Amino acid sequence: MPEFRAHRPIVNPELRRRGIYLLPNLFTTGALFAGFYAIVQAMNGRFEAAAVAIFIAMVFDGLDGRVARLTHTQSAFGAEYDSLSDMISFGAAPALVVYEWALKGMGKLGWIAAFIYCVGAALRLARFNTNLGIIDKRFFQGLPSPAAAALVAGLVWVTIDNGYTGTQVRWFACVITIFAGLSMVSNVPFHSFKDINLRRSVPFFVVLALVMGFVLVSSYPPGVLFALFLCYALSGYAIAGWRHFRQRR
C-alpha cells in the first residue's frame, strides 16, 4: 500500500533563528512598566507617585533608542514595541492620572478633556511613525507625546507638592490637558534637538550650563520640570509665530 506522509511546512532557517534584541527592549519594557505603574497608583489615589512614574518612563524611553543605535540593535520589532509602550506611558497613563486627580468631578467635560489628550497621543504617534524620513529632523511636527505627558504629570506633581488638591485646580488642569492633546496633533514645529552632536567638542560654558541645569532641577524637581516643559510647549507656538511674521514681511 502507498505510504501517506504528512506534508511539513518548509521553514526558512533565517526565520527560525530570528529573535529580538534584549538590551534595548528591556529599556522599552521599563518604560511600559512605569506607565502601567502610574495607572495603578492613580487608581489607588497616589497621584504624586503616578506623576513621578511618568517621568521615569520618559527616562527609559529616552534611553532605549540611544542604546539600540549605540549597540547597532535597531529592529522593526523594537520600533513597533516602543510605539505601543509610548501609547500606554504617554497616552493612556497621563489621561487617566489627570482624570482621576482633577477632571473626574467635572462631568462630561472632564472625560472629554481626558479623551482629547488620549486620542491626540495616539494620532501623534501614528503620524510620527508614518512621517519618518519625510519631515525635517530638526523639528517635530506637533508636541512630542513624552513632552505632553511631562506637562500633565508635572502639573499634578507640582500642585500636590504645594498642598493643592485636584478639585481646586481642575479648570486649569482641564485647560492644560486639552492644550497638550491639541498641541500633539497640530502642525506647530517643536525643536527636536537631534542636530546636537554629542561626539563633537563643545565650549566649556556649555558643560557649565549643563551642570547648573542639573543643580536647578535637583533643587526643586516638581516646579522646575513643570516650568521647563511648559516653556517647551509654548516654544513651538513662538517658533510658528516668528516664521509667520517673517513670511508676512
Round to whole Å and give the CA distance between 26 and 78: 10
Residue carrying C-alpha cell 489627570: 98
How many CA atoms does the CB half-sphere of 44 hold within 13 Å? 11
- pLDDT tens digit at each of 249 positions of the chain: 444 444 555 545 444 445 667 788 899 999 999 999 999 999 999 999 999 999 999 999 988 888 888 888 888 888 889 999 999 999 999 999 999 999 998 999 999 999 999 999 999 999 888 876 666 677 888 999 999 999 999 999 999 999 999 999 999 999 999 999 999 999 999 988 776 665 666 676 667 877 888 888 888 999 999 999 999 999 999 988 988 888 887
Architecture of domain 20-248: Up-down Bundle (1.20)
Query: What are the sequence ranges of the domains in the chain?
Result: 20-248
Round to whole Å and give the CA distance between 32 and 237: 30
Name the maximum alpha-carbon separation found in the chain.
91
Q: What is the pLDDT of residue 14?
A: 47
138 near 236, Cβ under 8 Å? no
Round to whole Å and give the CA distance between 244 and 127: 24
Round to whole Å and give the CA distance between 124 and 148: 11
5: left (phi over 0), alpha (psi -120 to 50) or beta: beta
Q: What is the pLDDT of residue 4?
A: 45
Question: What is the helix (H) or strand (E) element at residue 191, kind and residue range?
Answer: strand 189-191
Q: What is the pLDDT of residue 184?
A: 95
Q: Evaluate if pTM is beyond 0.75.
A: yes
Round to whole Å and give the CA distance between 74 and 26: 13
Helix 170-184 / helix 108-130 crossing angle, nearest 10 deg:
20
Cα angle for residues 145, 149, 151 (degrees, 5° grid): 115
Round to whole Å and give the CA distance between 182 and 176: 10
Q: How many residues does the chain have?
A: 249
